Structure formats: C-alpha cells, structure tokens
Amino acid sequence: MSTNKNRFLPFVAIAVLCGLAAGVLGEIITRVYFLKDFSVPYFSNEVNLNELNSNQSNLIIRDAKKVVVNQDIKIEETINSLRPSLVGIFKEIPVKAGSEAEKNEFYKLDQPLFVGLIITSDGWVAASIPVGIKKNFSAKGYVIITSDRKIYTIDKISDFKNLPGDLIFFHLANANNLTVKKNLARKDLSLGQTVLVVNDFNNVFLSSISSLQKTPVVLNSDSLNSRLTLAGDISNDFKNSFVFNLAGDLVALVGADQSIIPAFSYNPYWQSFLKKENNVQPYLGVNYLDLSSTKSFSLSLEKGAWLHQGEDVPAVIKNSPAQLAGLKEGDVITWVNNQEINSNNDLADLIATYNPGDTLTLAFIRDGLEKTITVKLGELK
C-alpha cells in the first residue's frame, strides 16, 4: 500500500511545480501585455517611482522602511514649490503708456536687486535688504514682481528698525491670495539637516546645519540671540538670502554680514502682521547665562537661565516685568509655563513665542529651593 503512495509522489511534485510556473508566467504576461510594466518582479526590493506609468495609478506602500528619493529630484521639487512665495524687487522703470520708451524697456526677471519672501497671503513681504540699497529704500521707486509675472507697488513699510540680518517688512498694494511658507520651529531643527540657501530664482546653495550657537556671552531675554552655522563657506553671492529645508519651510535668513539668524527668532514680528493689532516683541527684562553651555563654580545645575549681570547690563532690568514679579540676580529660571529651559529651549527663544500682555508661570531656583512666580510680559519699545 505504501509502495503505491510513493509511486504517485513524483506526479504530485510535478503538478505543484507546473502550477507555480503557470502562476508566475501568468503574472508576467499580465504585467507586460496589460499593465505595460517591464520591470522584473521578485528580484528587487526597491521601487523606482520614476518608472511608474499611467497604467499603475495606485501605489500603496504598506511598510515604508526603505523609500529612497533621489536628492536632485527632491531639490528641484523644493525649488519649484518655493517660487510662488518668492518675489523679485526691481528698480521701477518709469515710462508713459504708449510712449516709444515703453516698447523698449523691460525687467530682467532673473536679475532682481534682491529677493523677498511672502509672509502673509494679503501681501506682507520680508526681505534682507542689501547694504547699498538699505539707505535709500522707500515705498516709491521700486516694484515687486511675483513668479506669475504680476507687478505690484509698495504701499507700506513697517516701522520695525535694526532687526538682525537687516530684515525689513513691506506690503504689496492690492495683493491677496498669495502663497505663504511656514517658519520652522526650534524643535524641528537638527544638526546635519539638509538645507537650501536661496538667493534668487536661479541661485541656490545646498548645505546642512552644522551648529546652533548663541553669540553673546551674557544673553538677553528679549533679543534675537540664536545663530546657525552651515557646513561649508557661504560666498558673497548668498548674502541677504533665505534658507529653507527640503520640505520648503523657512529655516533661517542670511544677513549682509553673513550671519545666519533662525526664522523662529522673528516669530513675534511675523505674528504682528497676522493680527489686527500691531503687536511687537514681548518684554521680560533679564540678562542671563545659559547653563547648558556654561560651567558655574557656584552652581551644580546643568541647564536653566542663570540671571547674571554682564558688561554695563544688570541681571534684572529696573522696572521690567521680571523685576516687578520679584526675580533677582542669581535666580535660575528652569521652566516657562510647561516648557523646560535646556539645550533645546533657550529662554529668549521661548519668550519670543508669546505676545505682550501674556501671563506666564516661571519656575526658578533660588538658594537651592524651587519657587514659582507669575509674570505679565510687557512690550519691547
């Protein structure tokens, strides 16, 4: 009986193999003749999205452990996504309609004086203005041209003065429904992050974030302390530029002196254009050392904002919101509301996310004891 069973095993094995072969052959015929897909299945774990055709309209990635996008393709996509948010600033060509001059004059769109970034859909633009233009820049005498070739004039220039990076804000007359990019938050910055430095519509510089630093020794709670450093040297051609990540979010601004100021530092100014009231930068009024990057002989703490005097500046400014709330020199502020002050959260950066008039709960350490106070932010004049 067992002999008869063994006699049929070769036939069963052959039948199974033939079935598998028929299945594979059927799939190949279906892919080639019906789906027009000439890739070889089963022998590769990678899918080239560039080779997908219109007959393969649905792509589902159930386990996206390894999805590779060519960097040059991603950069091109990023640049294309940025164009609607960038504007060129040109010296106005005054011509009369119907004149001979009108027929011969033109704007060279790829050679603006400098480039601006749209920050509100109703026409506010931010720009790092070159030194040679800064002194004489006004609402008259310049035009702004968007990527869709619309020409705008300037009807307002903000009264914010002496911002880091020579940043100015101006408004396009009769503008609406413009494309806006978001500012990248401090928590979303990371060392080694790939960025694009964009000077105009045809010049970009690929780099990465190599460090996040703060320039003064004693920091001020109400100034724009943070600076970025990018890998590689930035040439003079990229002064007064914008820095974006590959998702198209604004990372930083490059000033005329090639200092790189993170975009989140400007949030109070950005926000002022999104509200009816003209809010400016909030004011706490302290100077401090960042214990994340400072070793104190008298403190064992490794993080926090240690209120400390600097050259010609007190630790707590007289009549400031901080002094009125009871903060003193030597206090170490450890928390602002529910956010801890550490190497990723600087005091000035946290204060900049609030508005004048906001009431904050500050946790601080004094003489080894943890205390809390509430402070109402003022308005920086």
User: Of the ranges 248-252, 281-285, 376-380, which is most confident?
Assistant: 248-252
285 pLDDT higher than 90: yes
For the segment 364-375, what is each residue's pLDDT rounded down to a tens digit? 999 999 999 999
pTM across the whole model: 0.65
Lowest-pLDDT range of 1-10, 152-161, 173-182, 316-325:
1-10
Q: Is residue 277 part of a domain?
A: no
Residue-number span of the structural domain to which 35 is assigned? 2-56
Per-residue pLDDT tens over the stretch 307-363:
998 878 899 999 999 999 999 999 999 999 989 998 878 898 888 878 889 999 999
Is residue 252 located within the same domain as residue 287?
no
In the chain, how many domains are there?
4
Neighbour-count burial of 324, counting CB atoms closer than 10 A to its CB (0-12 exposed, 13-18 middle, 19+ buried)? middle
Q: Say if 243 falls within a structural domain.
A: yes
Residue closest to 341 by CA, chosen among 298, 375, 307: 307
Residue 145 has pLDDT above 90, yes or no: yes
308 and 368 in a single domain? The answer is yes
Structure-model confidence comparison of residues 143 and 200, the more confident one: 143
Task: Say if residue 368 is in the same domain as residue 307.
Answer: yes
Are 216 and 147 within one domain? no
| Domain annotation covers residue 132 | yes
Residue 233 lies in a domain: yes
Q: Which residue shows structure tokens 């003079």?
A: 236
Could you give the CA distance from residue 263 to residue 126 in angstroms, rounded to a whole number?
11
pLDDT beyond 70 at 294: yes
The CA distance from 222 to 281, in Å, is 8
Residue 337 lies in a domain: yes
Is 370 among the domain residues?
Answer: yes
Residue 329: closest CA among 361, 295, 306: 306
107 shares a domain with 128: yes
pLDDT exceeds cutoff 60 at 68? no
**One-letter identity of residue 323:** Q
User: Residue 60: what pLDDT?
Assistant: 53
- Output the average pLDDT for the chain: 81
Task: State pLDDT tens for residues 182-229.
Answer: 888 777 888 889 999 988 777 888 899 988 776 666 777 767 677 888
pLDDT at position 162? 78
Same domain, 257 and 331: no
Provide the residue type at 13 as one letter.
Answer: A
pLDDT for position 54 = 46
CATH number at residue 322: 2.30.42.10
Range 135-149 average pLDDT:
89
CA atoms within 13 A on the CB side of 326: 11
Percentage, residues of the chain above pLDDT 70: 78
In this structure, of 7-11, 98-102, 129-133, the range with the lowest mean pLDDT score is 98-102
Length, in residues, of the chain: 381
Residues 86 and 167 in one domain: yes
Cβ distance 144 to 198 under 8 Å? no
Say if residue 49 is in the same domain as residue 84: no
Q: How far are the Cα atoms of 5, 94, 150 from residue 88, in angstroms, in the given order?
A: 85, 17, 11
Is there a single domain that holds both residue 260 and residue 236? yes
pLDDT at 321: 95
pLDDT at 102 (0 to 100): 59
State residue 103's pLDDT score: 61
Report which of 69, 30, 64 is spatially closest to residue 49, judged by C-alpha positions.
69
Within a domain: 234: yes
Residue 332 and residue 347: Cα distance in Å, rounded? 11
Measured at the CA of 330, the angle between CA 328 and CA 336, to 5 degrees, comes to 70
Looking at the structure, tell me whether residues 371 and 291 fall in a common domain: yes
355 and 301 in a single domain? The answer is yes
Q: Cα dist. 28→39, 51, 137, 267, 272 in Å?
A: 10, 17, 67, 56, 61
Question: At residue 41, does pLDDT exceed 60?
Answer: no
**Residue 314 contacts by C-beta under 8 Å, 6 or more apart in sequence?**
287, 329
Q: What percent of the chain has pLDDT over 90?
A: 29
Q: In angstroms, what CA-CA distances link 41 with 38, 50, 160, 282?
A: 9, 16, 61, 60
Handedness of CA 346, 228, 191, 210 (dihedral sign): negative
